[in-house]
């Protein structure tokens, strides 16, 4: 449930100007019921000026009147079209101070293992600037010698779903351009789940297995030997003559 602006000041105003119960005010402002009782007793929020929710377009008088008549009714924040989307403002991704020193390592990982990602995509994933990405691509970064590629998901700089979405978008853009991709590049463009489900690549047969396909069988060896023997007999036999082992007639 959405909460009003300046909750404590709004609670002060409701305590001073309405007959709402402590629980109704606590539920509307997101505070504890004992805090509302402390405001009424003057022990909490001393010196805080009340914030009028009606004048600031957060409540209507009809809603307050209805809640005053029914102690079980919960106040509803007035719909304000101008306030929609304020919690999703666009801007550079915030990176905690403890993780900013690891950001160049994550950029190096993305550049090395996903070169298809654009500088804009990398910038959105890890919250950096394009000149920094370009210096790492060209290996002109001042600390490039001491950098190690580290997965930004493992560092907590982005979510796996965000990385997969960026990779899929890069794959679609490359496919639209009609550029030929190698098997290694195609595997990199897959999401984590798709890559794990892929079958293992066939291995190249060893030298021994390859040579076995060219060996002759035993039957082929015997036929080859018999052919050689037959050729030798025909070479030494004399046409119309007698063999050496036959006895001559006197």
Q: What is the pLDDT of residues 26-37, one digit of tens each?
A: 999 988 989 899
On whether residue 140 sits in a domain, the answer given is yes
> Does residue 233 lie within any of the structural domains?
no
Q: Are residues 104 and 140 in the same domain?
A: yes
| 162 within domain boundaries | yes
Shared domain for 189 and 102, answered yes or no, is yes
Residue at 115 is within a domain: yes
Q: Examine the fold and report which residue of 193, 208, 241 is the final residue of a domain before the chain moves on.
A: 193
Q: Is residue 201 part of a domain?
A: no
- Say yes or no: 114 and 141 in one domain: yes
Distance CA 17, CA 53 (A): 11
pTM for the whole structure: 0.40
Average pLDDT of span 135-155? 91
- Cα 80 to chain center, whole Å? 35
Instruction: State the Cα–Cα distance between residues 187 and 113, nearest whole angstrom.
Output: 11
Could you tell me if residue 87 is inside a domain?
no
- If one counts every other C-beta atom within 10 angstroms of the C-beta of residue 97, the result is 6
Other beta carbons within 10 angstroms of residue 175's beta carbon come to: 12
Tell me the three-class secondary structure of 14-57, residue by residue.
HHHHCCCCHHHHHHHHCCCHHHHHHHHHCCCCCCCCCCCCCCCC
Euclidean distance between the first and final Cα of the chain, in Å?
Answer: 133
pLDDT band with cut points at 50, 70 and 90 for residue 86: very low
End-of-domain residue from the set 82, 110, 142? 82
Sign of CA dihedral 232, 238, 244, 247: positive
As for how many domains the chain has, the answer is 2
Rounded-to-10 torsion of CA 217, 222, 227, 228: 100
pLDDT confidence band for 12 (50 / 70 / 90): very high
Q: How many helices (H) and strands (E) does the chain have?
A: 13, 0
Is 73 a member of any domain?
yes
pLDDT band at 196 (very low <50, low <70, confident <90, very high): low
Residues 104 and 16 in one domain: no
- 51: in domain: yes
Q: Which domain holds residue 30?
A: 7-82
């Amino acid at each position: 449930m959405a909460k009003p602006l300046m909750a404590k000041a709004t609670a002060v105003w409701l305590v001073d100007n309405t007959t709402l119960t402590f629980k109704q005010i606590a539920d509307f402002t997101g505070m504890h019921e004992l805090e509302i009782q402390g405001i009424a007793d003057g022990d909490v929020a001393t010196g805080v000026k009340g914030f009028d929710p009606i004048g600031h377009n957060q409540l209507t008088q009809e809603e307050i009147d209805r809640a005053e008549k029914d102690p079980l009714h919960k106040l509803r924040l007035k719909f304000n079209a101008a306030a929609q989307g304020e919690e999703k403002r666009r801007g550079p991704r915030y990176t905690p101070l403890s993780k900013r020193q690891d950001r160049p390592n994550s950029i190096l990982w993305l550049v090395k293992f996903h070169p298809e990602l654009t500088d804009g995509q990398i910038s959105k994933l890890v919250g950096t600037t394009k000149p920094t990405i370009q210096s790492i691509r060209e290996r002109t970064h001042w600390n490039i010698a001491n950098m190690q590629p580290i997965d930004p998901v493992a560092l907590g700089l982005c979510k796996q779903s965000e990385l997969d979405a960026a990779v899929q978008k890069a794959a679609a853009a490359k496919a639209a351009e009609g550029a030929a991709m190698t098997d290694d590049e195609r595997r990199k463009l897959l999401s984590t789940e798709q890559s794990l489900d892929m079958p293992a690549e066939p291995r190249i047969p060893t030298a021994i297995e390859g040579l076995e396909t060219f060996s002759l069988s035993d039957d082929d060896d015997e036929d080859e030997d018999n052919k050689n023997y037959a050729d030798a007999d025909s070479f030494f036999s004399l046409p119309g003559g007698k063999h050496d082992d036959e006895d001559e007639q006197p």
